[in-house]
Structure 1
Amino acid sequence: MIKLRIAVLFLAVVVITGIAGYRFLEGYTWFEAFYMTIITISTVGFQEVRPLSSTGRLFTIGLLFAGLGVVLYTAGTVTAKIVEGEFQQFFGRRRMEKQIDALTNHYLVCGYGRIGEVICRELASKPVPFVVIELEEERVRRVEEAGHLLLKGDATDEKVLLVAGVIRAKGLFATMPVDADNVFMVLTAKDLNPSIFVVARAETERSEKTLVHAGADKVISPYAMGGHRMAQAALRPAVVDIIELATHYQSLELQLEEIVVPPGSPCEGVTLRDSGLRQEPGVIVVAIKRALGGMIFNPSADEKIEAGDSLVALGEVARLRWLERRVELTSST
């Protein structure tokens, strides 16, 4: 960019010098001087406005060499910028596609509006791998500034979803502002990968039902959720404060976490008491979500943990990380 500015500055200096030279050396009018300068620098060679003196001819020769050099330098700089930008874009896209190809069990965030941006912050804070699919230039720029993996394209296009690794993905967030786009996206994603977990945004109650029928595992209405949260903030402020403290991605004091029990875990087939999880200070097992469905709130010490169950725990971040390692540690290690 600096070279381009220098080239434009030199070109402006040559033009101004040419105009001034013809005006004061040959007595041309300002317009005639401008005309002579342009045809000289551009080497067009149209007829002179009037015959030049010997001084004027020498000045024209100097202006011709100076102008030609500056024009060639400017053209070369602009061409280099264009070619360099195209190469950077090409190789950057190829590098991004290779990174996406290497992902498994990742998430797709379709749309980088206000909701998509918040989702990305939450995923990055975990951290878990994810790819943003966005087409709008301004949002693409914001994704790049944030440093997220980006696939530029239409998220409703099956080919784009395939390039993003939808077949290998663990989940998909359909956050487009148009419900019809989200419905089509859910249908396409579920057709390509029936096991993918899809969370979809809905603008209306009718769209919520349509998205569920399309295959969305969870449907969220931002307006309904926002209204509910505002009402609860007034009716149950302490409860809302605890929930926000436990679920906000920047919270360092307390977090609510979901930990899946894998096969071979030392916690598989044992009770909460025998697992030692209830005795761990700073961590509370709030609930157990069974793999076959159903939720057990405030489970007793005699509740047995099975593979595929999800433990919902509340505690300090460091203790939750310990709990994750404890639960996910296989018996073979």
Structure 2
Amino acid sequence: MARLRIAALFLVVVVIAGVLGYHFFEEYTWLEALYMTVITLSTVGFREVRPLSSVGMIFTIGLLIGGLGVVFYTAVTITAKVVEGEFQEFFGRKRMEKRIGALTDHYLVCGCGRIGEVICRELASKPVPFVVIEQDEERIRKVEEAGYLLLRGDATDEKVLLTAGAMQAKGLFATLPVDADNVFVTLTAKELNPSIFVVARAETERSERTLAHAGADKVISPYAMGGHRMAQAALRPAVVDIIELATHYHSLELQLEEIVVPLGSPCEGVTLRDSGLCQERGVIVVAIKRASGGMIFDPSMDEKIAVGDHLVALGEIARLRGLERRVETSAPQ
């Protein structure tokens, strides 16, 4: 950028010098002097305004030699900037697509508006791999500043979803501002990958039903949820405080976490008591969500753990990470 400014400054100086020279040496009017300067620097070969004197000829030779150098330098600088920018954008996009192509079990965030930004922060704080699909330039700049993986394009385009790795993705967030677009994204994603978990945003109750029929696993209405939370904040403030403390990504004291029991887990087929999970200090197993969809709140110590169960636990982040490692790798006690 500094070179470009210097080149532009040199060009302005040469033009001003040419105008002044022709005006004072040849007594041309200001317009005639500007005309002579332009045709000299551009080497178009038009006739001069009037025959030049010897001084004018010498001045023109100097202006032509010096001016051509400045014009050439400016042209080369501008061309280099354009080519460099295009190459950077091309290879940057290719590198990004290569990184995205290597992902598996990641999430797609379709649309990075106000809701999409919050989702990205939550995913980044986990952290879990995710890709943002966005085409609005202002939002793209915010995504790039945050350092998230970005794919420029229309999320409703099947090719864009394929490039983002929809067939290998674990989940998708349809947070586009138009409900019809979210319906289309949901339908396309489910067609490409029937096992992908889709969470969709809906503005109206009708859209909620449509998105559910389209295959969305969860449909969230931000306005309904916000209104409910505001009402509960007044009616049950202590309850809301606990929920916010346990679910907010900034919370360092307490977290509500969901741990999936994988195939081959040492906890498979044993009770909570025998697994030793309930003996983990500072952690409470609040509920067990069965793979079939059933939910058991405040499970007893004799409740057996099965593959695919989701253990909902409350505790400090470090303790929860320890519990997660026990479910995946430790031997039952």
| Aligned equivalent of 2:18 | 18
The answer to whether the 8 A contact 1:264-1:330 is kept is no
1:229 and 2:229 aligned = yes
1:94 and 2:71 aligned = no
1:132 and 2:132 aligned = yes
1:211 and 2:211 aligned = yes
The answer to whether the 8 A contact 1:166-1:192 is kept is yes
Counterpart residue identity of residue 127, structure 1:
P
Cα shift at 1:331: 5.6
CA gap of 1:197–1:330, structure 2 versus 1, over 3 A, is farther
| Aligned equivalent of 1:288 | 288
> What SS class does the counterpart of residue 118 from structure 1 fall into?
helix
Cα shift at 1:94: 1.2
Cα shift at 1:162: 0.9
The whole-number CA distance in structure 2 between the counterparts of 1:322 and 1:44 is 78
The answer to whether the 8 A contact 1:110-1:132 is kept is yes
Give the 4+ runs in structure 1 shifted more than 6 A: none
Counterpart residue identity of residue 36, structure 2:
M
The whole-number CA distance in structure 1 between the counterparts of 2:20 and 2:246 is 72
| Aligned equivalent of 2:165 | 165
Cα shift at 1:26: 2.1
Cα shift at 1:330: 6.5
Equivalent positions of 1:37-56 (< 5 A) are 37-56=37-56
> What SS class does the counterpart of residue 194 from structure 2 fall into?
coil
| Aligned equivalent of 1:67 | 67
Counterpart residue identity of residue 38, structure 1:
V
Equivalent positions of 1:240-255 (< 5 A) are 240-255=240-255
Number of corresponding residues: 332
The answer to whether the 8 A contact 1:25-1:55 is kept is yes
Deviates more, 1:214-223 or 1:25-34: 25-34
> What SS class does the counterpart of residue 278 from structure 1 fall into?
helix
Deviates more, 1:206-215 or 1:95-104: 95-104
The answer to whether the 8 A contact 1:133-1:151 is kept is yes
Counterpart residue identity of residue 28, structure 1:
Y
Cα shift at 1:249: 1.1
> What SS class does the counterpart of residue 279 from structure 2 fall into?
coil
> What SS class does the counterpart of residue 252 from structure 1 fall into?
coil
| Aligned equivalent of 2:269 | 269
The answer to whether the 8 A contact 2:267-2:331 is kept is no
The whole-number CA distance in structure 2 between the counterparts of 1:30 and 1:282 is 85
Counterpart residue identity of residue 56, structure 1:
G
1:320 and 2:320 aligned = yes
For the aligned residue pairs, the C-alpha RMSD in angstroms reads: 1.4
The whole-number CA distance in structure 2 between the counterparts of 1:164 and 1:171 is 12
The whole-number CA distance in structure 2 between the counterparts of 1:69 and 1:245 is 67
The whole-number CA distance in structure 2 between the counterparts of 1:20 and 1:326 is 83
The answer to whether the 8 A contact 2:109-2:173 is kept is yes
Gaps in structure 2 of 5+ consecutive residues: none
Counterpart residue identity of residue 230, structure 1:
M
| Aligned equivalent of 2:185 | 185
